Amino acid sequence: GLAADHFAYCWGNNEHGQLGDGSLSPRPAPGPPVGAGLPLATLARSNSLTHACGLTSAGSAYCWGFNYFGQLGDGSTFDRTGPVTVATSLTFVELATGPFHTCGRTANHEVHCWGALPGGSATSTTPVLIARQPPLAAITGGQSTACVLTTAGEARCWGFNGYGAIGDGTAIDRTTPTTVGGGLRFAGLSEGSLHVCGVTHDGRMYC
């Protein structure tokens, strides 16, 4: 969690250093702050059990924990027990993590991802431009998919689609953001392991 002092505190399993406190020891309660007191403005919207990321107030991205696929974005595949800087000159306004990837959106509505890139067999240890989108309101990360929500409420998803999580009426994997069918406009999205749900402005939920 992110405390009022802008330091992140974590607890629970720490097999890959995902608590960010410099150790591999599990903790039943919050321990030392992540990175010995790295000030963060936000934490990533998370669908990951093994790594975590956060943004500074200047939009610099830091990640820590499991890194087998390069999902920490520091150019390596080594696990990290404390925050490492994502290797990019980009600044982000929001991050989202899946189990094996991380994605970020920039202020100019670009989507960049790193790790096991959703929708294909490619991996990257540093950010890769996925798409430039219409004005974006949010980004989410699932197990093997990712979605963005435009300011107009349109949901666009990409990645593994074997169970229809992209929502385009097919079971075809997508490597770029693809519009969710049905003409619905959403106020918010949430991703599970192999599904996506959205809430419309009138309070209806669709999955």
Q: State the Rg of the chain over Cα.
A: 16
124 neighbors 139 (Cβ within 8 angstroms) = no
Nearest to 158 by CA among 120, 127, 124: 120
CB-based contact 127:113 (threshold 8 Å): yes
Q: How far is CA 113 from CA 47, 72, 185, 198, in A?
A: 14, 10, 25, 22
DSSP state of 180: P
pTM of the model: 0.94
In order along its 207 residues, the chain shows pLDDT tens digits of 899 999 999 999 999 999 999 999 999 999 899 999 999 999 998 999 999 999 999 999 999 999 999 999 999 999 999 999 999 999 999 999 999 999 999 999 999 999 999 877 799 999 999 999 899 999 998 888 999 999 999 999 999 999 999 999 999 999 999 999 999 999 999 998 899 999 999 999 999
